[in-house]
């Protein structure tokens, strides 16, 4: 018997009451054991260098990662074959097992064992077999077996198979003559199928999914996954919808050192309801050709305007007005940004007239500069854009927009001051399509502003830090008549807190708003003295107008209000688990709330989630969105979502469901009802997902709630 024992004695894995059910990491290849000695511990040993020996009494054999424990071992030192006539335990870095008897050849790293209980290292997968073969240190063949990832003597799901082969280095298993039982009921039979035994990808069929909706009928899909290369894969899924017909869905992914690409598509050769082919495809390609430069190409198209109304899976998809496709090349320097872009739009909303369709930009070039002028604190800024607008109906043409400016920045602990003066020029070269008017209109106007603020702080009696930050922003832009200018891509900004400090109330270069106004605002924050976390924040502000705003869109009369709505925003972070936010815009001229919002978010210790949002904008939006995910017991959970519009007196979306989860399986059932078009038609859907942990999921996943 050797003089010294190993530092650690091996202990066979014990399945706990509820182990981690996730598949383990990829098992590393078996180590080279050929040069490692075999170490034997026993109460008595009878051995020689050339003849068969034996060891009895608490026998333990070690060789590198391999370990055998039993009461008696017969050992051939020449052939390095171990025979165990009685009960034994075997373990290496890939598999562990217990059996009644066995043989193992250390040279070939192969053996066989009878009446075995087994398990996979780094995983909760386990089972039993009549006979097990270990082949070449990397493959296990099990005969007349059962397999599960559930703990205990009565697992909820099991696979019974005539033969199971586990290829540890490839991370895959293959079963022959397999039956899947759930709660003692057979749910699947397969003469042959493969499955992963770790988290590595593999080619093959995924498990089927199914669902039910009111206008599509019962849906069944059988996805097939193709692991093309380490940096490339694809999934193809034939689907059958009882009210529509067959559809093929797929996605392709590619990743290299300088590119990222993704292609998604759906194709239905013959829609039974419309008697035509339907499709959607999305191509998204990113590339990084040089340092600080990147490009992106997006192509997004559908066969017809009603596609998402018929096949969209959520309210966001069904309410889309158009699809945008684009190609972009951007570069970033220390003080500059550059963009070259082209885009196109596919209209989906029948309510949008042809003369109101968005313009294609073919192309758009943008250059932005923010250059410091030495150490003087002065900066030279430039916003520039050259773009050609194209459309089938209406005026088309090119537009150049230049906004050079000079400003001075001074920041310190007490506050900041930033005066700025610039000149904005916008010129056009138009094709008026026979309409009267100037083909080369232009506009130039000065823009002057002063932005300044102070910072005060104090320590509260509780040791927290509170700040008070008043801010003043003055803007002057003289009036220029711009009625002759076209409107290509310009609209009015939604008024919010950031608009207090913006130099233009219009988004886009076709209009530069005239201004003689002063914004007054104040923000106060309180930070925890213990960790510095923000506890709450309050911001108040308003614009005071000294002149009417004469520049308008769509021939509207000048705005003669003396001041903007009064704005307030409040955020409260009561704890790391609860936060609330509220916003209000009060119109003094009309004595009414013009905009309001309220929301809170809660995250509990046991995974509870609640989110509530209320949004109001007079004559446009009046709706709330409530979502909840709440554990009822350790295994049962409830989830729901209600999205309702008071403005339309209409339910936008209703969702409710329950989840059950145990150590080795989970069930999720969700019922959804959501608006699918402007006509008030709803889609009712049922989503059912059954997950056998460590094996597969069966069913159709619902959308993420949060």
Q: What is the pLDDT of residues 424-438, one digit of tens each?
A: 999 999 999 888 889
Interval 276-303 mean pLDDT: 96
Interval 667-675 mean pLDDT: 87
Q: Where are the beta strands (DSSP E) in 546-704?
A: 566-572, 578-587, 592-603, 609-617, 621-631, 636-645, 650-661, 665-675, 682-692, 696-699
For residue 323, the model assigns a pLDDT of 95
Closest-CA residue to 470 (of 529, 415, 430)? 415
- 655-692 as b/e: b if 16+ CB within 10 A: bebebebebbbbebbbbbbbbbbeeeebbebbbbbbbb
Q: Which of 197-206, 319-328, 375-384, 660-669 has the lowest mean pLDDT?
A: 197-206
For residue 18, the model assigns a pLDDT of 54
pLDDT band at 28 (very low <50, low <70, confident <90, very high): low
Interval 155-172 mean pLDDT: 85
Of 426 and 314, more confident: 426
Residue spans per domain, the chain: 39-202
Q: Is the pLDDT of residue 699 over 80?
A: no
Q: Is the pLDDT of residue 359 over 90?
A: yes
Three-class SS state of 381? strand
Percent of the chain's residues with pLDDT above 70: 93
Interval 586-598 mean pLDDT: 93
Of 34 and 166, more confident: 166
pLDDT band at 65 (very low <50, low <70, confident <90, very high): confident
Closest-CA residue to 189 (of 174, 175, 179)? 179
Q: Which of 37-51, 474-488, 625-639 has the lowest mean pLDDT?
A: 37-51
For residue 25, the model assigns a pLDDT of 46
CB–CB of 602/629 below 8 Å?
no
For residue 580, the model assigns a pLDDT of 97
CA distances from 614 to 387, 565, 594, 623 (A): 39, 19, 14, 6
Q: How far apart are CA 32 and CA 579, in angstroms?
A: 56
Q: How far apart are CA 397 and CA 424, in angstroms?
A: 20
Q: How far apart are CA 653 and CA 107, in angstroms?
A: 66
Q: How far apart are CA 463 and CA 476, in angstroms?
A: 43
Q: What DSSP string runs through 125-156? A: -EEEEEEEEEETTTEEEEEEEEEES--SSS-S
pLDDT band at 702 (very low <50, low <70, confident <90, very high): low
Q: How far apart are CA 173 and CA 156, in angstroms?
A: 20
Closest-CA residue to 68 (of 134, 17, 167)? 134
User: pLDDT averaged over the chain?
Assistant: 88
Interval 321-330 mean pLDDT: 96
pLDDT band at 16 (very low <50, low <70, confident <90, very high): very low
Q: Which of 15-19, 148-152, 252-256 has the lowest mean pLDDT?
A: 15-19
pLDDT band at 691 (very low <50, low <70, confident <90, very high): confident
Q: What angle do CA 347, 389, 478 make, to 5 degrees?
A: 115
Q: Is the pLDDT of residue 11 over 80?
A: no
> Highest-confidence range of 220-229, 541-550, 645-654, by mean pLDDT?
541-550
| DSSP label of 25 | P
Closest-CA residue to 515 (of 543, 494, 485, 557)? 543
Interval 234-258 mean pLDDT: 95
For residue 501, the model assigns a pLDDT of 96
Q: Which of 120-124, 176-180, 207-211 has the lowest mean pLDDT?
A: 120-124
For residue 17, the model assigns a pLDDT of 40
Q: What are phi and psi of 356, to 5 degrees?
A: -110, 10
Structure tokens at 628: 């909840």
For residue 7, the model assigns a pLDDT of 38
For residue 13, the model assigns a pLDDT of 40
Structure tokens at 644: 């309702």
For residue 703, the model assigns a pLDDT of 64
Q: Is the pLDDT of residue 471 over 80?
A: yes
Q: How far apart are CA 73 and CA 44, in angstroms?
A: 11
Handedness of CA 154, 158, 164, 167 (dihedral sign): negative
pLDDT band at 276 (very low <50, low <70, confident <90, very high): very high
Type and span of the H or E element at 219: strand 217-221
Residues 6+ apart with CB under 8 A from 480: 443, 444, 445, 512, 514, 551
pTM of the model: 0.79
For residue 663, the model assigns a pLDDT of 80
Q: Is the pLDDT of residue 315 over 70?
A: yes
Closest-CA residue to 157 (of 192, 117, 127)? 127
> Highest-confidence range of 43-47, 563-567, 574-578, 685-689, by mean pLDDT?
563-567
Q: Is the pLDDT of residue 277 over 90?
A: yes
- Which CATH code for domain 39-202? 2.60.450.10
Which residue is associated with the tokens 């949008």? 352
CA distances from 295 to 284, 288, 298 (A): 11, 6, 10
From the CA atom positions of the chain, what is the Rg in Å? Answer: 35
For residue 170, the model assigns a pLDDT of 78
Q: Is the pLDDT of residue 14 over 50?
A: no
Q: How far apart are CA 304 and CA 278, in angstroms?
A: 7
Q: Is the pLDDT of residue 27 over 60?
A: no
Residues 6+ apart with CB under 8 A from 705: 609, 627, 629, 639, 641, 655
For residue 326, the model assigns a pLDDT of 97
């Amino acid at each position: 018997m050797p003089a010294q024992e190993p530092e650690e004695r091996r202990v066979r894995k014990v399945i706990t009451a509820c182990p981690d059910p996730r598949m383990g990491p990829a098992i590393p290849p078996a180590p080279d054991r050929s040069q490692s000695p075999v170490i034997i511990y026993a109460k008595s040993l009878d051995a020689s260098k050339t003849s068969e020996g034996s060891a009895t009494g608490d026998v333990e054999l070690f060789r590198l990662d391999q370990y055998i424990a039993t009461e008696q071992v017969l050992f051939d030192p020449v052939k390095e074959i171990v025979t165990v006539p009685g009960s034994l335990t075997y373990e290496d870095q890939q598999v562990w097992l217990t059996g009644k008897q066995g043989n193992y050849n250390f040279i070939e790293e192969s053996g066989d064992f009878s009446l075995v209980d087994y398990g996979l290292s780094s995983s909760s997968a386990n089972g039993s077999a009549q006979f097990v073969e270990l082949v070449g240190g990397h493959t296990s063949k099990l005969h007349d077996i059962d397999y599960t990832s559930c703990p205990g003597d009565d697992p909820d799901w099991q696979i019974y198979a005539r033969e199971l082969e586990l290829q540890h280095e490839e991370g895959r298993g293959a079963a022959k003559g397999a039956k899947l039982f759930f709660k003692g009921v057979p749910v699947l039979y397969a003469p042959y199928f493969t499955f992963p035994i770790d988290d590595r990808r593999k080619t093959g069929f995924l498990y089927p999914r199914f669902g039910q909706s009111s206008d599509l009928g019962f849906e069944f899909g059988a996805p097939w996954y193709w692991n093309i290369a380490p940096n490339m894969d694809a999934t193809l899924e034939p689907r059958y919808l009882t009210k529509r017909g067959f559809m093929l869905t797929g996605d392709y992914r590619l990743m290299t050192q300088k590119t990222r690409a993704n292609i998604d598509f759906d194709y239905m050769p013959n829609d039974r309801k419309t008697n035509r082919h339907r499709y959607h495809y999305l191509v998204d390609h990113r590339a990084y050709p040089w340092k600080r430069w990147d490009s992106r190409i997006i192509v997004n198209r559908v066969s017809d305007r009603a596609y998402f109304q018929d096949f969209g899976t959520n309210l966001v998809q069904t309410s889309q007005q158009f699809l945008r496709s684009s190609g972009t090349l951007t570069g970033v320097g220390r003080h500059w940004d550059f963009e070259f872009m082209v885009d196109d739009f596919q209209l989906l909303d029948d309510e949008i007239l042809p003369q109101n369709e968005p313009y294609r930009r073919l192309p758009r070039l943008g250059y932005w500069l923010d250059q410091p002028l030495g150490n003087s604190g002065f900066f030279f800024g430039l916003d520039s854009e050259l773009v050609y607008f194209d459309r089938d109906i209406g005026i088309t043409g090119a537009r150049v927009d230049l906004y050079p400016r000079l400003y001075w920045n001074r920041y310190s602990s007490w506050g900041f001051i930033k005066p700025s003066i610039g000149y904005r020029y916008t010129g056009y070269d138009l094709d008026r399509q026979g309409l009267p008017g100037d083909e080369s209109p232009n506009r130039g106007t000065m823009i002057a502003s002063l932005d300044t603020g102070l910072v005060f702080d104090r320590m509260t009696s509780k040791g927290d830090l509170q700040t008070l930050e008043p801010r003043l922003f003055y803007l002057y832009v003289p009036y220029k008549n711009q009625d002759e200018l076209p409107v290509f891509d310009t609209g009015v900004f939604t008024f919010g807190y950031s608009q207090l400090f913006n130099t233009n109330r219009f988004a886009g270069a076709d209009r530069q708003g005239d201004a003689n106004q002063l914004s007054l605002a104040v923000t106060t924050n309180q930070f925890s003295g213990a960790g510095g976390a923000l506890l709450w924040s309050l911001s108040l502000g308003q614009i005071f107008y000294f002149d009417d705003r004469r520049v308008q869109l769509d021939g509207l009369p000048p705005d003669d209000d003396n001041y903007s709505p009064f704005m307030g925003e409040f955020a409260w972070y009561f704890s790391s688990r609860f936060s609330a936010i509220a916003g209000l815009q009060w119109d003094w001229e009309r004595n009414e709330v013009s905009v309001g919002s309220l929301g809170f978010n809660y995250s509990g210790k046991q995974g509870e989630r609640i989110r509530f949002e209320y949004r109001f904008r007079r004559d446009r939006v009046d709706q709330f969105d409530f979502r909840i995910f709440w554990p009822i017991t350790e295994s049962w959970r409830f989830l729901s979502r209600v999205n309702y519009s008071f403005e339309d007196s209409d339910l936008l979306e209703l969702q409710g469901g329950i989840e059950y989860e145990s150590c080795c399986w989970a069930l999720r059932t969700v019922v959804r009802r959501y608006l699918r078009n402007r006509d008030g038609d709803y889609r009712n859907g049922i989503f059912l997902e059954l997950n056998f942990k460590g094996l597969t999921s069966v069913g159709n996943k619902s959308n993420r709630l949060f």
